[in-house]
Amino acid sequence: MHTIALRFLAWMLLIFAAEATASLSAQTAQQTTAKQTSAVSASPVAKPPAKSDGAPAPTRAAMLRGAYGPYRANNDLLYYHLDIRVDPEKQFLSGKNTIRFKMLRDGARIQLDLRDSLTIDKILWNATPLKYQRDTGAVFVDFPRTLRAGQVYSIDFYYSGHPDEYGRFGDITFKKDAAGHPWINTACEGDGASMWWPNKDQWRDEVENMDISVAIPNELVDVSNGKLVGKTDLGDGYTRWDWHVSYPINNYDVSLNIGSYVHFADKLGDLPLDFYVLPEELEKAKVQFAQAKGMLEAYQHYFGPYPFARDGYKLIEAPYTGMEHQSAVTYGNLFKNGYMGRDWTGVGISPRFDFIIIHESGHEWFGNSITAADPSDMWIHEGWTTYLESLYVEYRWGKNDAIKYLGGLKPKVENLRPIVAERGVNAEPDEDQYFKGALMINTLRSVVNDDAKWWPLLHNFYQHFKYQNILTGDVVTYFNQQTGMNLTPVFDQYLRHAHIPRLELLFGEAPGMVMYKWNADESSFAMPVRVGAPGHWQIIYPTTEWQWMQTPLTKEQFQVATDLYYVDVNKQ
Ligand SMILES: [Zn+2]
């Protein structure tokens, strides 16, 4: 102990020297500015960039779309009936959305949304036309008298026009398939459902259920969300397809898929599985879509029954890669494994399964059933669903392959900005929400360090929040309560700062001892981590203050389990 104490004293001096050097090189790093990598790195952790460095100032349209203002907060959505006609040749929509809502406060005005490219034909309250004011995508609807808190009201919002094609998947696209038939699809997450239909276009509030009626030329098929109620020949060359959604649904999940679809079906227990593809893809689809069953079995194993059993599960071919439309997942992954035929995480595991079937369907649990209440907290959709990919791998091929799959995500992480974006301005986080989000959840599993606790924790977390719209704080509170740990600084470091924690290791000249601490933005950051030698890991409990431990390992031999914890390591 005597020599150890002496060495300890000597090291304290070393640390002061090391910290002085680190702070000097941090300044240099900020001047030369290098991209922070997720790999084990000896470069110092620079301060995260200020919010204003990364994100542009929100536009008025983004603020109107993103804020849960007084004319949204004064009411609670109950029901939509979207009842429209789609003319493929004119690329024209017309019809109405019946919107039923309960007032939560007395008021004579509510906020709805519809993009300026579409015309408002009229808004009726029973037979009374309502006045309205349009403002860059928002529609403020005024009533002739005060609506009373607790009362339920219904309006019919008539609209028409040529919607704009915009964004990654076009929001709504009027295409032709290879045979020259119309192929019309929606995918509007981000830009918002008000790109093509009038609604209360935000994430916090959802209708309890919904009807979708779509009139299209007789020879076409519409596949929307929910259960097919029936179709009616309108006698004018058009047929109306009626779908009923019997669960809460996000606006951006509401979808049209209009084409020359052919249908085939299967069942998983009592759950109807319905598949819609273009005729020329039928044989390929019958092979590829068989993966849906194994996917459902895996997710049901971890989280409980498929969330939308009454509506069934559907997989629908679309002209873009894919989207998690509730109970009507769209698919455009070339009927190949991996992502568009590529090894998605580059470690040889992704080619075993169809990335789009596994990822987009995972959103039925995280994204559609549990929904973020603001796009700022979208990691609740994407971080969790990316983690679900690894659960699918674990269910099929075991933990080692799951950890390997997750490790393949690391090169995709940029660590340039926090995962949680600015709230209330319709700000979508960077792609780090996917990969870093999943790596953080895997880190939490190692922190809990007991799979007998981890699996029930995941299951109960999902069950506790299913069909709800939640924020990051809800997740953190739940995990803190259920684990009895204070995980707040851990969540905050990964979600609210650009950089991941770095384990500082300081070795003496002779073997026998190592000093350690976390370098993190969260001053109270504390997280156990496995160190030492693989197969003989030892758990230490570093904080942001220096501690020390004895070790028989040399600096070169001493390792950190970075496949189980997403952290940087700096050995000195
Ligand atoms: Zn996703």
Residues 108-124: pLDDT tens digits? Answer: 999 999 999 999 999 99
Q: Which of 407, 247, 274, 258 is nearest to 329 (CA)?
A: 274
- Expressed in angstroms and rounded, the spacing between residue 224 Cα and the centre of ligand 1 is 19
Query: What interhelical angle do 379-397 and 291-303 show, nearest 10?
Result: 110
β-sheet bridge partners, residue 470: 372
Q: What pLDDT digit, counting tens, does each position of 521-567 carry?
A: 999 999 999 999 999 999 999 999 999 999 999 999 999 999 999 99
- Expressed in angstroms and rounded, the spacing between residue 368 Cα and the centre of ligand 1 is 11
Asked if residue 268 lies in contact with residue 252, where contact means CB atoms within 8 angstroms, the answer is no
- Expressed in angstroms and rounded, the spacing between residue 361 Cα and the centre of ligand 1 is 9
- Expressed in angstroms and rounded, the spacing between residue 123 Cα and the centre of ligand 1 is 35
CA atoms of 243 and 303, how far apart (whole Å) = 27
- Expressed in angstroms and rounded, the spacing between residue 182 Cα and the centre of ligand 1 is 27
Q: Which of 181, 163, 160, 159 is nearest to 173 (CA)?
A: 163
β-sheet bridge partners, residue 48: none
- Expressed in angstroms and rounded, the spacing between residue 322 Cα and the centre of ligand 1 is 9
Structure tokens at 475: 């997740």
Percent of the chain with pLDDT over 90: 87
- Expressed in angstroms and rounded, the spacing between residue 160 Cα and the centre of ligand 1 is 31
- Expressed in angstroms and rounded, the spacing between residue 371 Cα and the centre of ligand 1 is 12
Query: CA-CA distances (angstroms) from residue 424 to 102, 103, 375, 493?
Result: 23, 22, 8, 21
Q: Which residues of 211-237 are buried (b: 16+ CB within 10 A; e: fewer)?
A: bbbbbbbeebbbbbbbbbeebeeeeee
Q: Which of 410, 493, 395, 400 is nearest to 444 (CA)?
A: 493
- Expressed in angstroms and rounded, the spacing between residue 385 Cα and the centre of ligand 1 is 6
- Expressed in angstroms and rounded, the spacing between residue 76 Cα and the centre of ligand 1 is 27
- Expressed in angstroms and rounded, the spacing between residue 28 Cα and the centre of ligand 1 is 38
CA atoms of 498 and 500, how far apart (whole Å) = 7
Q: Burial of 527 by CB count in 10 Å (0-12 exposed, 13-18 middle, 19+ buried)?
A: buried
Asked if residue 101 lies in contact with residue 153, where contact means CB atoms within 8 angstroms, the answer is yes
Long-range contacts of 170-179 (CB under 8 A, 24+ apart): 170/320, 171/195, 171/196, 172/196, 172/256, 173/319, 174/88, 174/91, 175/319, 177/259, 177/260, 177/278, 178/278, 178/280, 179/260, 179/278, 179/279, 179/280
Identify the segments of the chain with pLDDT beneath 50. Answer: 1-53
- Expressed in angstroms and rounded, the spacing between residue 245 Cα and the centre of ligand 1 is 21
CA atoms of 559 and 470, how far apart (whole Å) = 38
CA atoms of 56 and 421, how far apart (whole Å) = 12
β-sheet bridge partners, residue 338: 354
β-sheet bridge partners, residue 159: 95, 120
- Expressed in angstroms and rounded, the spacing between residue 212 Cα and the centre of ligand 1 is 24
Q: What is the pLDDT of residue 358?
A: 98
- Expressed in angstroms and rounded, the spacing between residue 439 Cα and the centre of ligand 1 is 15
- Expressed in angstroms and rounded, the spacing between residue 472 Cα and the centre of ligand 1 is 17
Q: What is the pLDDT of residue 48?
A: 34
- Expressed in angstroms and rounded, the spacing between residue 85 Cα and the centre of ligand 1 is 30
